[in-house]
């Protein structure tokens, strides 16, 4: 009985294939495209820097 059980276990091991959860190729991921208008953002930052500079010049001597 033990030999029969052992033989069945060995046969099942040899006949079973390897477990595979998919292929070995790299996954294909499409990048998200984000469009940003850099010119408008840059002009807003330049205006903010100019305003802060003017306020610093005005308040500088009083601080």
Instruction: Give CA–CA dist 19/4, Å, rounded.
Output: 26
What's the pLDDT at 27?
A: 74
Task: Enter the tokens of residue 1.
Answer: 């009985």
Instruction: Give CA–CA dist 44/51, Å, rounded.
Output: 11
Give per-residue pLDDT as tens, 41-58.
555 777 888 888 888 888
Which comes out higher in pLDDT, residue 59 or 46? 59
Give per-residue pLDDT as tens, 1-34.
778 878 888 877 777 766 666 666 777 888 888 8
Average pLDDT of 33-39? 70
């Amino acid at each position: 009985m033990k030999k029969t059980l052992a033989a069945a276990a060995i046969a099942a091991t040899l006949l079973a294939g390897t477990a595979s959860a998919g292929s070995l190729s790299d996954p294909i991921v499409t990048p998200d495209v984000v469009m940003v208008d850099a010119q408008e953002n840059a002009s807003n930052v330049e205006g903010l820097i100019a305003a802060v500079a003017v306020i610093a010049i005005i308040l500088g001597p009083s601080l």
